[in-house]
Amino acid sequence: MPPRINIPPVTRICLIVLLVQSVLSAAIRYRQWTANSEIVIPYLNLIPQLSLVYPWTFLTTTLVESNIFTLSIAGFTLYHGGRYLERAWSGRELAKFLLIVSLVPNALVFATTIFFFALTRNEGWTLMTIAGTIPIQISFLVAFSQLVPAHTVTLFRGILSLRVPRFPLLYIGLVTLFCLTPMLTAASFLLAIYGLIVSWTYLRFYKPVFPDLDASQPAHLRGDASETFAFAQFFPGPVRPLASSISDHVFNVLVAMRLCTPFSAADVSAARGDHHHHNFAQRGVPGSARAEAERRRALALKALDQRLHAATANAAARASNAPPPPAVVPPIPSATGPTVQSQPQAGAQKTMTVQSGGEILGETSYNPDGDDHK
């Protein structure tokens, strides 16, 4: 019997949609292919000049790949990354995350192409196809940077070792190289940049920490104020101070525009594991792996405590509504068999009566401590 492949529901749906839409796109392009024209599918892919009448393409275009190479990478990423995150977060939270990192980067790239068209009057910007799982792939790398920031991946049999937070920038570098070939376009580069920013912003400031707990519990924590998930951590050590300074200025602008809310002192203290408040720039300083492990252990214990509290409350509610236990009926004595009854008497003596069928056959008294009988 072949082994059963266990794929969580949200990941399974994404893989099916990716395969169906990519095959459909390939079939349409194959049927309409001509040597001197480029096939565009405005009702499946997002094309700024043609897709305004097909608003669903802002979402569906993310799960469309144009060649077998990118389709294989997308399937591999969704299968492994989606399974891991769905089990770590929950299917609902993963679905929300995929919706955000798909819709928002596509809309930002759409606006960027319109802006460049307005500047250059080059119609190629508005006829550019915006499609592919690039924002999902880089958002998964950002999520892994949050979950396992101290993990090191060894490549090429130990020749190269990289910490997980280094992979988003490495991925952007690879996308930039492929954009120089006919395989990818400038839209792919923009999708990678916006995917990194949008996914980090959501995980940093908005994602609930405990989305699967009982809704009757107090308001849950949101975001991740830990030092290991600061934006500057994606950059190498020499350029990290510059990246931290730029991110601070951008953050202050977003706060002034009321697009972001700064962390409270309690959030920062809980994330750092101490009781000192630091500003946004100081949160970019790398923390120790031990402090990060202690922080995550404390959050896990808090989640466990709330789950136990909710389970206890539910059990108490079910017990209060449970029916009373059935009454115990004593057994009926035999009508013919002899029974023996022992009755206590005053003092140390006891009386034993022997009866059969309702007729008393005899009665005797005895002393438990002695040998005399009557």
DSSP secondary structure, 258-307, as one string: TSS-PPPHHHHHHHHTSS----TTGGGSPPPHHHHHHHHHHHHHHHHHHH
Question: For residue 15, which of 83, 106, 84, 92 has the smallest C-alpha distance?
Answer: 83
- pTM score of the predicted model: 0.70
Cα 109 to Cα 111: distance, rounded to the nearest angstrom = 5
Q: Average pLDDT for residues 153-179, to the nearest whole number?
A: 87
pLDDT given at position 175: 94
* Residue 242: count of CB within 10 angstroms of its CB: 11
Question: For residue 64, which of 94, 41, 48 has the smallest C-alpha distance?
Answer: 41
% of residues, the chain, pLDDT over 70: 68
- Given pLDDT bands bounded at 50, 70 and 90, which one contains residue 272? low
Question: For residue 43, which of 30, 24, 19 has the smallest C-alpha distance?
Answer: 24
Half-sphere exposure of residue 341: CA atoms within 13 angstroms, side-chain side: 12
Q: Considering only residues 248 and 319, tell me which one the structure prediction assigns the higher pLDDT.
A: 248
Q: Considering only residues 206 and 308, tell me which one the structure prediction assigns the higher pLDDT.
A: 206
* Residue 189: count of CB within 10 angstroms of its CB: 18
List pLDDT tens digits, range 211-259: 544 444 444 567 888 888 888 889 888 888 888 888 888 888 878 887 7
